Amino acid sequence: MSIVIIDYGSGNLRSVQKAFEKLGFSAEISKDTSAIRSAKGVVLPGVGSFDSALKELRAHGLEAAIEEAIAMDKPFLGICLGLQHLFESSEEGKERGLGILKGQVVKFNFSNTPWDNQSIPHMGWNRLLIKHPAPIFEGIESGNMVYFAHSFYVKPKDDMIVTAATDYGPEFTSAVWKNNVFGIQFHPEKSGPVGLKILENFGKLCLK
């Protein structure tokens, strides 16, 4: 069995797979619900729009498979849009989120603020400010740089699940952790050695 990267027609699947393989982990790209259920760990990546990706995910019956994998205590990692899908709703669209985590996804809005010169989308390298250490951040220091590409960010209802934030004008939540569910707003596959370390930590959790 391997780590399964869920294929629902949304972005960067092969680059995430190659990153895991570089680290010595077996990683499979699949939309097969039985593969997801039997996986050692599950990754929900994503680049694109909230609604279209969710519609594709549901069209392939993947929502129930995700819920089952999480209920079976498999390590689960949402990346970028995959993190946003874990929440209840998004200002980007009208589709219901997966609702695994409570809260919503909102758009950066710097109008009439001291940060009105900030560009949207938030693109490029920025600091990861660790609020409390999650297992995927073992060996990662607060202030390490990671790579972002997004216009929306998550606002959890429970601040206790926020494991890292990032300063882009005001701080926003850039990583969450609840039980076996992890979510990161940045792209680890584009974040150099720091990103690879995070994926390595996740891979090790999948082998326990």
Q: Is 189 a catalytic residue?
A: yes
**Per the residue annotation, which of 80, 85, 122, 200 is the catalytic one?**
80
Amino acid at 174: S
**What are the helix (H) ranges across the chain?**
13-22, 33-38, 50-59, 62-71, 81-85, 192-206
- Catalytic one of 85, 187, 200, 206: 187
Structure tokens at 139: 């060996």
Catalytic hit among 85, 95, 122, 189: 189
Residue 203 near residue 26 (C-beta atoms within 8 A): no
Query: Is 187 among the catalytic positions?
Result: yes
39: helix, strand or coil: coil
> Is residue 80 annotated as a catalytic residue, yes or no?
yes
Instruction: Find out whether 154 and 176 touch, Cβ atoms under 8 Å.
Output: yes
Strand partners, 171: 167
- So which residues are the catalytic ones? 80, 187, 189
